[in-house]
Amino acid sequence: MAAQAGKVRTPTSATGTEPLRRPRDERREGRRVAAGFTLLEMIVALAIAGLLLGVVPMAAGKLYESVEYRATVRSVLGALRAARERAAAEGRPVRFELDLRGRHYGEAGRPPERFPDDYRVDATLAATERDGDGIGGIRFFPDGGSTGGSITITRPSGQGVRLRVDWLFGRITQEPPDEGRSG
């Protein structure tokens, strides 16, 4: 006798052959279920977004100022160290120049870098290294010594740093601007 032909359902998904149905919720029987957000939820979400849009630009401005300040301090510190290392490597004195009026700094004979306009820059330099008109420098010698001095960089917020160059060993240190001053 031959096998009887029958209707066979082939699975169309990993979950079986039944179409997807929403599980029955006895509490919602007979009621229409609304999907979406309530007006109150939308108002709260928009209020939070508005607050964020007001705070983010202020925080970004402070972040940019902080990054710019740190980059400036690193740049001056790097230029001082490069001048010191060049003096030792080449066996000749090398001068780090500072133009307070023109707001430039860098190693003599190389393109100068510029201080940002809103920073205050002060310097204490040896009398022999001051050329007048706000121009001066710190000279590094091949034996490791220097003429010494300090450069104070102050941000618009009043915070600052002093880069101090030791005359005996030419060592360059970073310290708060009011440290080392007698009142």
Please give the share of the chain, as a percent, with pLDDT higher than 90. Answer: 51
Summarised one tens digit per residue, pLDDT across range 122-179 is: 999 999 998 877 789 999 999 999 999 999 999 988 899 999 999 999 999 999 987 6
Considering the domain boundaries, does residue 77 fall inside one? yes
pTM for the model stands at 0.66
CA distance 78 to 145: 17
Residue 164 bridge partners (DSSP): 150, 173
Contact 162, 148 (CB under 8 A): no
Residue 163 bridge partners (DSSP): 151, 174
Q: Output the six-digit token pair for 64.
A: 């940019």
Rg (CA), the chain: 35
Q: Identity (one letter) of the amino acid at 171?
A: R
Considering the domain boundaries, does residue 181 fall inside one? no
CA distance 153 to 150: 10
CA 103 from chain centre, in angstroms, equals: 22
Q: Give the CATH number, domain containing residue 137.
A: 3.55.40.10
Per DSSP, the three-state class of 156 is coil
As for how many domains the chain has, the answer is 1
Under the banding of pLDDT at 50, 70 and 90, the label for residue 182 is very low
Considering the domain boundaries, does residue 113 fall inside one? yes
Contact 135, 99 (CB under 8 A): yes
Under the banding of pLDDT at 50, 70 and 90, the label for residue 1 is low
CA distance 12 to 88: 80
- Residue ranges making up the domain that contains 117: 47-175
Summarised one tens digit per residue, pLDDT across range 32-46 is: 666 777 888 889 999
Considering the domain boundaries, does residue 117 fall inside one? yes
Q: Which pLDDT score, from 0 to 100, does residue 39 have?
A: 87
Considering the domain boundaries, does residue 164 fall inside one? yes
> 13: which DSSP letter?
B
> 18: which DSSP letter?
S
Enumerate the H helices of the chain as residue ranges: 39-90
